[in-house]
Amino acid sequence: MMPETASPESRTGQEPEDSFMQGVRDCLPTLLGYLSIGFAAGVVEKTAGLSIPEIALMSLILYAGSGQFIAAGMIAAGSTASSIVFTILFVNLRHVLLSAALSPYFRHLKPLRNMLVGSLLTDETFGVAINTGTTKGRLSEKWMHGLNIAAYLNWFLANLLGAFFGQWIANPERWGLDFALPAMFIGLLVLTLMSRKKYVQDILVGLAAGLIAVLVSLLWSPSLGVIAATIVASTLGMVMEKWK
Distance between CA atoms of 203 and 209, rounded to whole angstroms?
10
Residues 222 and 124 in one domain: no
Name the residue range of residue 127's domain.
16-196
Residues 136 and 226 in one domain: no
Residues 45 and 150 in one domain: yes
pLDDT of residue 64: 86
Residue 145 lies inside a defined structural domain of this protein: yes
How much is the pTM? 0.69
Distance between CA atoms of 90 and 138, rounded to whole angstroms?
31
Residues 163 and 232 in one domain: no
Residue 191 lies inside a defined structural domain of this protein: yes
Residues 155 and 110 in one domain: yes
Residues 22 and 134 in one domain: yes
Residues 176 and 226 in one domain: no
How many domains does the chain divide into? 2
pLDDT of residue 12: 45
Residues 206 and 232 in one domain: yes
pLDDT of residue 159: 93
Residues 216 and 101 in one domain: no
pLDDT of residue 185: 64
Q: Which residues of the chain have pLDDT under 50?
A: 1-14
- For residues 101-140, one letter each, b for 16 or more C-beta atoms within 10 angstroms of the residue's C-beta and e for the rest, the string is ebeebbeeeeeeebeebbebbbbbbbbbbbbbbeeeeebb
Residues 186 and 207 in one domain: no
Residues 164 and 213 in one domain: no
Residue 3 lies inside a defined structural domain of this protein: no
Distance between CA atoms of 210 and 142, rounded to whole angstroms?
34
pLDDT of residue 54: 93
Over residues 42-57, the pLDDT tens digits come to 888 888 889 999 999 9
Residues 238 and 128 in one domain: no
Over residues 140-171, the pLDDT tens digits come to 999 999 999 999 999 999 999 989 987 776 66
Residue 8 lies inside a defined structural domain of this protein: no
pLDDT of residue 184: 61
Residue 183 lies inside a defined structural domain of this protein: yes
pLDDT of residue 156: 95
Tell which residue, 225, 222, 199, has the closest CA to residue 212. 225
Residue 5 lies inside a defined structural domain of this protein: no
Distance between CA atoms of 99 and 56, rounded to whole angstroms?
25
Residue 6 lies inside a defined structural domain of this protein: no
pLDDT of residue 21: 93
Residue 211 lies inside a defined structural domain of this protein: yes
- For residues 203-222, one letter each, b for 16 or more C-beta atoms within 10 angstroms of the residue's C-beta and e for the rest, the string is eebeebbeebbeebbeeeee
